Chain A
Amino acid sequence: MLFNSIEFLIFLPIVFILYWFVFKNNTKIQNVFIIFASYLFYGWWDWRFLFLIFLSTLVDYFVGQKIYEHLDDRKKARYWLWASMAFNIGMLGFFKYSNFFVDSFIDMFHAFGYDIKSTWTLRIILPVGISFYTFQTMSYSFDIYYKKLKPTKDFLAFTAFVSFFPQLVAGPIERASNLLSQITNKRSFNYEQATNGLKLILWGFFKKLVIADSLAPIVDDIFANYHSYPASTLIIGVCLFSFQVYGDFSGYSDIAIGTAKLFGVELMSNFKFPNFSRNVAEYWQRWHISLSTWFRHYLYIPMGGSRVSQLRAIRNISVIFLVSGFWHGANWTFIFWGGLHALFYIPVYLMGRNRMYADNVVGEKTLLPTPIEILQVLLTFALVTFSRIFFRSPSLTDSFQFINQIVTNFSYEPYAHPMGYRMLDFYVLLGLFIFYEYLIRKHEREPFRFKSKVVRFLLYTSVILAMLLFYDDGVNRSFIYFQF
């Protein structure tokens, strides 16, 4: 079930009412209901893959107990941790990466002059959200292994933690220490939390339906026909893709966090206005935070993090970014994209500026950013956007040809929308969006944080009006990150 579907619009109020009116007195029954609702939510897409979620739940619940039993015997505990990783990564490897490995293997032989027929390539459907929930269940086993968490004995609560529908298919990837404790404890309805949830949902829908969906046909057209467009159009295309993917994924996260709030659950923030980052390190503290945090806790720090020699720290950074790229998809383009970010990040790290902006935002104490900050933001945006060419192109060859086309056909021509819409509408829309995001840049969880009720009301109405103005029933409405 998609958040932006009529089914969800009916599903959500029904689940909300039953959750708070019928099952409110018993946390266990509430959790059973969450499981039921979550499995229905996921099964709406394809019920056959429910067993995978259940299997992942079962394995990590059991492994968690075993790790805890052997905490004093680190060797045995490690075996159980490996078992969890083998299962989850194996599942991910089979469904997401098997064809990639087979194809890469064949390509490698082909490069040496041997032709192997691709009989091993399978027609595998990628189960939606597999990269997200497998990482979430693994985090549970890791936390127990690192003695940060005691395993739960409540299997139902654990099942609800793994399958909690607001964040099941595209995150935020929660850590058990945050989400599981909320699920095991009694939840009570909180008016402020619920209204904040609704506001976040509204803002998330705006980002998805208005920003991402209205830019999608433009980006699709430019990337599909890049060889026939001049540099100006290609630059527009990749810049718009940056906003599209941001609107799409952060919109999803906002809807997820807002929906969870309606059920008395606080999920972690996943985006903190990454487009206003002043260097690439800050960008990674603001973009897909739950994934960055996951890699930091469970890969970077265990590898030694930055508390090792500079050379090893550089190696660790490179590994993190390459793995992060590979996590996004079974394609060399993503690995290259990750590698490129490592290249952008390492100089920032070497200059000691990687934690410089961890606690402040652009224009922290002033209304407007300083000229230096503007330059920093523009440079970071340019670097990140450049890397998006690899993120969006279907192959490395296409990515390089796209860049080559920018360099060799360096000219300007006005771009016409593939469906004939006025392009000015989209530029104005984007300008207003950036301006508004700048205004709210310190409050990613409160997008309508204005004292005046009238102003707030006008904003709600304007946001919905924008959805009506930019609605296009010909656009594919699924979320980009579902493919990961």
Chain B
Amino acid sequence: MSLLERVAHPDQTKAWYGEIPIQNRYTAGIAGERFFREIKDHGRFWGVRCPHCDLIYVPPRLYCERCFAQLEEWVEVPTTGRVHTFTVVHIDLDGNPLPEPRIVAFIQLDGTDGGLVHDLGEVDPEDVCIGMCVEAVFKDPAERRGSITDIRYFRPVG
């Protein structure tokens, strides 16, 4: 049986190549629309507060996942936060070494119950630590597209 024998060469078995040809067009949604507009137009973060659960969601949401209330209390939140955890990425998706290691962190935004996963910049991997204070660095207004990559990276504060 072929399963029991080693197929040493791909041509030994009959095979076809195919692909699943799907593209998708995603919307930011009702809450996301406002979040990304604020980033693009003003370089600032907005969250939304659930008065019942006393939580500030960032990224903002249309509803509270805990009590299901519609959320309407929008609040500006700081663009600073703390590194909750981080990793240093050394290879790309194909397994090739990156020219420079990339530092990726989950940043808990100050005064909120959420945060963002993003790159850290202007810092060496050996100097990053959990709990480190960081701030968002935005692209120039003309370069912003209303996307999460309008944030260049977070960098250490002070």
A-B interaction: no
